[in-house]
């Protein structure tokens, strides 16, 4: 479901350097410990000070699929936030602000302004203390007891000493008492869930999934929005026995990953689109040498430097065409954080079995968003299948690393094993690993080796579950999406139902190999089809048409750096059903 009986959205806005993340983290901890679900999205700029940041936190008593369409509470840390967003607030909402420095405009009828005279409530010279005062106000408005906040503040500031903890609790209490006496709380108090939940980012989920899959080597050069994977790996490397290397550039990271994977270690690296462009030769080398290394591309708005802190689904054709020549690779685009976690062990098993590189295509929306999850849903001991890996020495009668087999899969010996001497290089080779350019290029041997590598994928689809139609089979509209559009499309379908439009969804995660036959069968039987993509050119549509020959009735595309909101898709579907257009591009209302 998009939300349960309780559906509440609060936003904190200000500039870089005003400590927006801290109150967000404190609230998140309170909420998940209470058993409530979260879906957060942070719109920010790539500067250390100044600019505008807008953190949206959606809260519900049931699982959330997107950060929603509305705002119930706006916490303004500066005048700019008030000026930008007051007009978005509707009747029944609240606006919290520091009245010492912020002057409100004229709110819509029914919007309650909640001014906080911060200088009267705290004598601290620390300007970030206004955040703690406001937390007390917010907790009161939500109908929570103060002890919940006090416990979270103590945990958050314990490393800074008891004096800092006491000061923060004192000023938060002042804000809490102010709200109790001067402001009207929300009519619907914050409920409690069935049990405490966890909270993670998509980058956390990718890293934890890789660790659960047995990754023991990780290399990266920091690049937003993929850096969170490096942070998690570095923080947990010693306890989990993972070698982590921050290297000089993405070329080094990719080649070290391929080298570690060749040595028999499950290995991974991550970057964003610009960094992946530098990695592509290494990806191709893994394809030629049949080495199972995993590369993660967390998409951001491009090309080139683009908009480093904004989301997009613009890298599909880059990963499809990474490196030159024909070679086999597996590409997966997770639907959400939990799907990212579950995809990692599956992808590593597949790359080991089929001895080829694997690519994870995430984006900023998933990777930097923070989401609640049920720890009981996380399998920390997934099945691990290393495929035809030879890891012990044994007598052999002329080991052939690239042996021609019916399946195309050859036994892969770890380097250095007695009896399994072989050559590994990026040149084309014969089945015994002889480089064919060293014995005169041989067209027949080249053809056989290309066909041998391709033959591996004839069985790969059987190991991957095909996409399934979600929703009623007789729907008026079938919405197709890939990767991170899954949740927002699903919520849009619920809203369409309320408007009398029956819709369903075909969400596709496994991009290569593609279940072309199953997709063709579903789409061919649909009454009307619309593809939803977070890019300008319809990259997935062009790929899908190339693989299946299918035509699609309409498109909804967004490429302004911000993710879809549910009503954007609803409006696009309604416009196309009315015959107004076959390409709908929504206008983002929140200026961030």
CATH code, domain carrying 134: 3.40.920.10
Among 311-325, 351-365, 438-452, 474-488, the least confident range: 438-452
Q: Which helix (H) or strand (E) covers residue 75, if one does?
A: strand 73-76
Residue 1 has pLDDT above 50, yes or no: no
Instruction: For residues 354 and 496, state if they share a domain.
Output: no
- Within a domain: 240: yes
| pLDDT on residue 2 | 52
- Within a domain: 417: no
Residue 438 has pLDDT above 70, yes or no: no
Q: Which helix (H) or strand (E) covers residue 243, if one does?
A: strand 243-246
| pLDDT on residue 397 | 80
Q: Give the CATH number, domain containing residue 538.
A: 3.40.50.920
Distance CA 452, CA 447 (A): 9
Angle (nearest 5°) at CA 114 between 112 and 116: 170
Instruction: For residues 360 and 492, state if they share a domain.
Output: no
Instruction: For residues 169 and 219, state if they share a domain.
Output: no
Instruction: For residues 173 and 203, state if they share a domain.
Output: no
The total number of structural domains in the chain stands at 3
Q: Give the model confidence (pLDDT) of 452-503 as tens digits.
A: 999 999 999 999 999 999 999 999 999 999 999 999 999 999 999 999 999 9
- Tokens representing residue 576 in the block: 């196309």
- Within a domain: 590: no
Instruction: For residues 111 and 244, state if they share a domain.
Output: no
Instruction: For residues 100 and 232, state if they share a domain.
Output: no
Bridge-based pairing state of the strands 529-533 and 477-482? parallel
Instruction: For residues 25 and 158, state if they share a domain.
Output: yes
Distance CA 409, CA 235 (A): 37
CA 583 to chain centre: 26
Which is nearest to 20 in space by CA: 82, 78, 67? 78
Distance CA 310, CA 317 (A): 19
- Within a domain: 439: no
Q: Give the CATH number, domain containing residue 362.
A: 3.40.50.970
Domain extent for 322? 199-377
Distance CA 316, CA 301 (A): 12
The percent of residues in the chain predicted with pLDDT above 70, rounded, is 99
- Within a domain: 572: yes
Q: Give the model confidence (pLDDT) of 256-275 as tens digits.
A: 999 999 999 999 999 999 99
Q: Which residues contact 163 (CB under 8 A, 6 or more apart)?
A: none
- Within a domain: 259: yes
């Amino acid at each position: 479901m998009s939300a349960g009986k309780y559906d509440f959205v609060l936003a904190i806005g200000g500039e870089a350097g005003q400590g927006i993340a801290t109150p967000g983290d404190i609230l998140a901890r309170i909420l998940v410990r209470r058993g409530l679900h979260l879906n957060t999205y942070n719109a920010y700029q790539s500067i250390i000070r100044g600019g505008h940041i807008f953190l949206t936190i959606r809260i519900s008593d049931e699982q959330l699929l997107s950060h929603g369409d509305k705002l119930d509470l706006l916490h303004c840390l500066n005048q700019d936030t008030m000026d930008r967003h007051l007009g978005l607030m509707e009747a029944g909402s609240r606006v919290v602000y520091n009245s010492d420095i912020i002057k409100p405009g004229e709110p819509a009828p029914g919007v309650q302004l909640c001014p906080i005279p911060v200088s009267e409530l705290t004598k601290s010279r620390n300007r970030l203390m206004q955040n703690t005062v406001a937390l007390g106000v917010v907790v009161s408005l939500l109908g929570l007891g103060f002890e919940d906040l006090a416990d979270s503040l103590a945990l958050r500031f314990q490393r800074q000493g008891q004096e800092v903890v006491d000061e923060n609790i004192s000023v938060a209490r002042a804000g809490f008492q102010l709200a109790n006496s001067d402001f009207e709380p929300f009519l619907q108090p914050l409920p409690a869930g069935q049990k405490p939940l966890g909270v993670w980012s998509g980058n956390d989920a990718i890293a934890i999934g890789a660790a659960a899959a047995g990754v023991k080597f990780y290399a990266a050069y920091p690049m937003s929005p993929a850096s969170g994977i490096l942070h998690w790996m570095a923080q947990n490397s010693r306890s989990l026995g993972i070698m982590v290397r921050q290297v000089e550039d993405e070329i080094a990271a990719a080649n070290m990953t391929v080298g570690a994977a060749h040595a028999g270690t499950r290995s991974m690296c991550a970057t964003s689109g610009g960094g992946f462009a530098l990695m592509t030769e290494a990806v191709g080398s893994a394809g030629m040498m049949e080495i199972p290394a995993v590369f993660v591309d967390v998409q951001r708005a491009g090309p080139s430097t683009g908009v480093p802190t904004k989301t997009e689904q613009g890298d599909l054709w880059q990963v499809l065409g990474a490196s030159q020549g024909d070679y086999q690779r597996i590409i997966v685009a997770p639907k959400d954080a939990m799907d990212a976690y579950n995809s990692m062990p599956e992808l590593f098993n597949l790359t080991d079995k089929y001895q080829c590189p694997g690519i994870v295509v995430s984006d900023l929306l998933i990777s930097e968003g923070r989401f609640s999850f049920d720890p009981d849903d996380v399998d920390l001991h997934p099945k691990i299948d290393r495929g035809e890996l030879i890891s012990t020495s044994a007598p052999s009668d002329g080991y052939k690393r690239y042996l021609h087999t019916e399946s195309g899969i050859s036994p892969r010996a770890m380097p250095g094993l007695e009896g399994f001497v072989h050559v590994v290089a990026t040149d084309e080779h014969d089945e015994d690993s002889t480089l064919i350019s060293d014995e005169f290029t041989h067209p027949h041997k080249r053809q056989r080796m290309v066909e041998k590598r391709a033959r591996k994928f004839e069985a790969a689809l059987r190991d991957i579950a095909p996409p399934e139609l979600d929703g009623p089979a007789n729907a008026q509209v079938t919405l197709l999406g890939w990767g991170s559009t899954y949740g927002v499309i699903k919520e849009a379908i619920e809203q369409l139902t309320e408007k009398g439009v029956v819709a369903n969804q075909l969400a596709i995660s496994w991009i290569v190999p593609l279940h072309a036959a199953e997709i063709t069968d579903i789409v061919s039987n649909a009454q009307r089809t619309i593809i939803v993509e977070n890019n300008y050119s319809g990259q997935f549509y062009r790929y899908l048409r190339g693989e299946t020959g299918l035509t699609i009735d309409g498109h909804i595309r967004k490429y302004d750096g911000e993710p879809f909101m549910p009503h954007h898709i609803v409006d696009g579907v309604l416009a196309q059903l009315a015959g107004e257009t076959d390409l709908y591009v929504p206008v983002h209302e929140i200026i961030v």
